[in-house]
Structure 1
Amino acid sequence: MKIELIKGDITKIKADAIVNAANSSLLGGGGVDGAIHRAGGKQILDECMEIRNRQGKCKTGEAVVTTAGNLPANYVIHTVGTVWNNNEEKSSELLANCYKNSLKLAESLNVKTIAFPNISTGVYRFPKELAGEIAVREVENFQSEIIEKVVFVCFDDENEMIYKRLLNL
């Protein structure tokens, strides 16, 4: 798999799938979640509500898929990041699951390109350096015959610099 880094707005990325750092309600929120719901339109929210009605809330580390609505992608993979609580082992495991489960779901959809935001590093306060290490490790360790390209989309300069260093760019 090829790995790319972009600084920008994930709602503008052309990919087969973009990942949403969702909350467990799946009903939109702040940060990336709110931006994806606003840019994608009502269709994403409607499908999230159907998922909730079927299975209840989405657990931390799990992933579900909806259409991408008005976004330049085919799918939005919603994964629930972990809130940092100073329990590094447990929080790291849950964040790693976000990447693993999103990649597995993408594979099941025959996704060739997938874009990830910086999951849990905003209002969930996960340390950006550690979150970047987990993201890069999980993507690099994921073996796929289907996914050809993973794009890390950094919204801010700090995350961009962390990922540049971690990816040796």
Structure 2
Amino acid sequence: MASVTIRHAEAGDVARIAALHATAWRETYRGLLPEAVIAAHDQAACATIWRARLEAPPPGASLLLVEGEEGAAGPLLAFGACGPRRDAALPFPGEFEALYVLRRAQRAGIGRALMRRMAAALLEAGIDAAGLWVLRANLAARAFYTELGGTLVAARENPALGAAEVAYAWRDLRLLAAASRRPEG
């Protein structure tokens, strides 16, 4: 993996997070979601989401950024969010809420490192198991979560997205934190 920095997000990062989020949505979900859903998830909508999250984070929640070689002056390559379960349909105390890696930074170990750091953050918050929802049609992400030891635990239709989702879970986050270790630089 190229030299990167993983750090906790701060209020001043909202615009960068929103820009990455909107770009990653277009890159990832084109062909998997209706175009109207993708278009509605623009930079302004994403900024609203992440500004609220940074202004009033839930206890035990983390929002992590992955930056290129130059740190805060370098490009934002990825981000991830995790915390206490938001969705009662997931029968685990924690949830991986977001993981977005720009296409140009994929397959470099960044997503793996970010998942490991989020697992560690959840463990530090006293959360030992977590799940996530992913589009059923997103086969690349599903393979990634399976490779990291995620177990398929549920499925549902998501009318807001106009697509089916499946849930993966890690019943022991210590295993995720340890199993996904690879050199980070």
Normalising by the smaller structure, the TM-score range is: 0.3 to 0.5
The normalised TM-score by structure 2 is 0.36
The normalised TM-score by structure 1 is 0.38
Q: Determine which structure has greater relative contact order: mean sequence separation of CA pairs < 8 Å that are 6+ residues apart, divided by chain length.
A: 1
Pair member with larger Rg: 2
Richer in strand (by share): 2
